[in-house]
Amino acid sequence: MAQQLTIYDTTLRDGTQSENFNLSVEDKIRIALKLDELGIDYIEGGWPGSNPKDVEFFKKIKGQNLKHARITAFGSTRLFANRTEADPNLLALVEAATPGITIFGKTWDIHVTDALRIGLEDNLLIIVESLAFLRKHVKHLFYDAEHFFDGFKANREYALATIDKAVEGGADCLALCDTNGGTLPTEIPAIMTAVKEHLAGKGVAIDLGIHAHNDTETAVANSLVAVNNGAVQVQGTINGFGERCGNANLTSIIPALGLKMGFDFTARANMTALRETSRYVTEIANLPHNKYQPYVGQSAFAHKGGIHVSAVQRNPVTYEHVEPEKVGNVRRILISDLAGKSNVLHKAKKFGLDLDGKDPVLTAIVKNLKELENQGFQYEGAEASFELLMRKAMGNERKFFDLQSFRILSQKTKSGEHPLEEATIRLQVRDEMVHTAALGDGPVNALDKALRKALTRFYPQLAEMELADYKVRVLTSEHGTGARVRVLVESRDKTSRWGTVGVSHDILEASWQALVDSITYKLLKDEGK
């Protein structure tokens, strides 16, 4: 087996610099837990010196039980005008109290003279002093050599001098950054060789890493070539999110390293969760999935008619470079009902449902799933709804209540004041008709409150359940205000979290579907299903 690699994810920091990619603190916590499940080695949580949200994240993540991943905080070398021990950025990194810290420093001389406006020797001083200060406060200390490849090409001697100072300061790994994303794969080997020879000539043994951006659409290629030339840490983001054209895409890098290049790393054993993780991140960020994405996209193993379908049905290797199941994907024959069965069977096993591959119910579930997906339903962030769908098809459905009617009134009396929303609901619960009403902050909140108010007397455990997140996505924007929308609800109680989904032209109806699924799942869960 080849040398052990470490996978370093920066979705929560560098990824959030992508246009339209925004995450709340709770979103970041959920994604961090998902990355931990995948087996990511290091998760860069944010820059605590730059904004209060990241400070809050580092506080809250301490309360989570991570099984493998180590959280890192990100920041820069000290300002030249500040004393090291009084620099706010360095102090914020220490205050974050994370297992790892990554700081970046300037490698390219033009950035030193034009951006920092300090002398070249001054920049070397702040690199070594910043790292030496942090070294005594953290277990894992990484140095991101910003603009390394551009800096090396512009002034080789100075670029190498900057990483010498990072070594002197106590860095555990030097991540060579292609910050502008302009380096091509053909340039990587010679530069990596020069760096290794330089360090060896000084008797230095230190890990090298790669941090590539995608402005020439070669970030994945650059990362793979760098690993092939000695890098042992690979930095990137899920789905390649990042500023400008994005970062190196870990959902492509991980299977390439593990399935094609034979490298060993923790996430290699969990690659069947890769597609699920990819879609989870886009769902949480409320963004559409890239169906054409390699390995994890919906179309990555889709075959449509003619010679391809015939060949794939005889031997999939004729038109597939890896087995889709190895990355958690599924082969799709677009003119057949064969697509999706293995995925449904996998989910049935996960949910503890007894479903046989030859059971006609399986075909019915797949057909229903296709119809629902065509309407806009997506279940990657709503597994509770998918489990309920499967139970209904298998005849294991439980109905804890029946809706008779609901009505929502929104009244606005003065300009500049918030509207007042009231929801009235009638339910059949067991043998009793329940009629109640509630006020809320918005129509969905009012409906949620009225529903809970009607049911809590019968099911007291609902009092411990709360709505953790609520997202709406417009699915067919060309229809304007008549567009179909998808509502994704995340709920939680004292022990777990679960997601549900609803789709309709009416946002209240879509919300109702998701809320009903959420409560039904909670009651089933508490009964032991």
Asked if pLDDT for residue 340 goes beyond 70, the answer is no
What percent of the chain shows pLDDT beyond 90? Answer: 75
Q: Where are the alpha helices (DSSP H) in 39-116?
A: 52-61, 88-96, 109-110
Region 418-431: mean pLDDT is 93
528 pLDDT band (50/70/90 cuts)? confident
Sequence letter at residue 7: I
**Are the C-beta atoms of residues 500 and 484 closer than 8 Å to each other?**
no
Asked if pLDDT for residue 41 goes beyond 50, the answer is yes
Region 350-363: mean pLDDT is 86
Question: Looking at per-residue confidence, does 208 or 441 come out higher?
Answer: 208
Q: What is the pLDDT of residues 64-115, one digit of tens each?
A: 999 999 999 999 999 999 999 999 999 999 999 999 999 999 999 999 999 9
Burial bucket for residue 277 (CB in 10 Å: 0-12, 13-18, 19+):
buried
246 in the Ramachandran plot: left (φ > 0), alpha (ψ -120 to 50) or beta? left
Gap between the Cα atoms of 71 and 100, Å rounded = 6
End-to-end CA distance of the chain: 43
Q: What is the pLDDT of residues 315-338, one digit of tens each?
A: 888 888 999 999 999 887 654 444
Gap between the Cα atoms of 246 and 67, Å rounded = 28
**Residue 420 tokens, joined:** 């007042």
**Residue 168 tokens, joined:** 């002197």
Query: Could you give all domains of the chain from N- to C-terminal order, each with its CATH number?
Result: 6-284 (3.20.20.70), 301-337 (4.10.430.20), 402-526 (3.30.160.270)
Mean pLDDT, rounded, of the chain:
92
Of the candidates 167, 169, 149, the one whose C-alpha atom is nearest the C-alpha of residue 159 is 149
What percent of the chain shows pLDDT beyond 70? Answer: 95
Question: Looking at per-residue confidence, does 279 or 380 come out higher?
Answer: 279
| pTM of the predicted model over 0.85 | no
pLDDT given for residue 72 in this prediction: 98
Of the candidates 364, 432, 433, 435, the one whose C-alpha atom is nearest the C-alpha of residue 395 is 364
Of the candidates 405, 413, 408, the one whose C-alpha atom is nearest the C-alpha of residue 441 is 408
pLDDT given for residue 338 in this prediction: 44
Q: What is the pLDDT of residues 278-323, one digit of tens each?
A: 999 999 998 988 989 999 998 898 876 666 666 777 888 888 899 9
Which of 92-96, 200-204, 352-356, 440-444 bottoms out in mean pLDDT, i.e. has the lowest? 352-356
Phi, psi dihedrals of residue 448, rounded to the nearest 5°? -60, -45
What secondary structure letter does DSSP report for 259? I
Q: Tell me how crowded residue 503 is: count the other CB atoms within 10 A of its CB.
A: 20
- The three-class DSSP label of residue 504 is strand
Gap between the Cα atoms of 247 and 245, Å rounded = 7
Provide the pairing of β-strand 6-9 with 42-46. Answer: parallel
pLDDT given for residue 375 in this prediction: 87
Region 374-402: mean pLDDT is 89
Show the CA angle centred on residue 523, arms to residues 519 and 524, nearest 5°. Answer: 115
Gap between the Cα atoms of 226 and 208, Å rounded = 9
Asked if pLDDT for residue 185 goes beyond 80, the answer is yes
pLDDT given for residue 311 in this prediction: 77
Gap between the Cα atoms of 183 and 167, Å rounded = 24
Which of 24-28, 251-255, 392-396, 426-430 bottoms out in mean pLDDT, i.e. has the lowest? 392-396
Gap between the Cα atoms of 163 and 206, Å rounded = 11
Gap between the Cα atoms of 443 and 424, Å rounded = 11
pLDDT given for residue 1 in this prediction: 42
Provide the pairing of β-strand 302-303 with 332-333. Answer: parallel
pLDDT given for residue 337 in this prediction: 42
R_g of the chain, CA atoms, integer Å: 26
Provide the pairing of β-strand 466-474 with 485-492. Answer: antiparallel
Q: Where are the alpha helices (DSSP H) in 379-506?
A: 383-393, 443-455
Gap between the Cα atoms of 19 and 283, Å rounded = 16
Gap between the Cα atoms of 326 and 258, Å rounded = 10
Sequence letter at residue 391: R
The sign of the dihedral angle between the CA atoms of 485, 239, 140, 106 is: negative
Burial bucket for residue 334 (CB in 10 Å: 0-12, 13-18, 19+):
exposed
pLDDT given for residue 374 in this prediction: 83
Q: What is the pLDDT of residues 196-228, one digit of tens each?
A: 999 999 999 999 999 999 999 999 999 999 999
pLDDT given for residue 355 in this prediction: 86
Gap between the Cα atoms of 96 and 46, Å rounded = 10
Q: How far is CA 155 from each of CA 109, 120, 123, 404, rounded to the nearest angstrom?
A: 7, 12, 14, 75
**Are the C-beta atoms of residues 514 and 501 closer than 8 Å to each other?**
yes
Gap between the Cα atoms of 246 and 257, Å rounded = 20
Gap between the Cα atoms of 111 and 335, Å rounded = 55
Asked if pLDDT for residue 478 goes beyond 70, the answer is no
Region 469-489: mean pLDDT is 79
pLDDT given for residue 151 in this prediction: 98
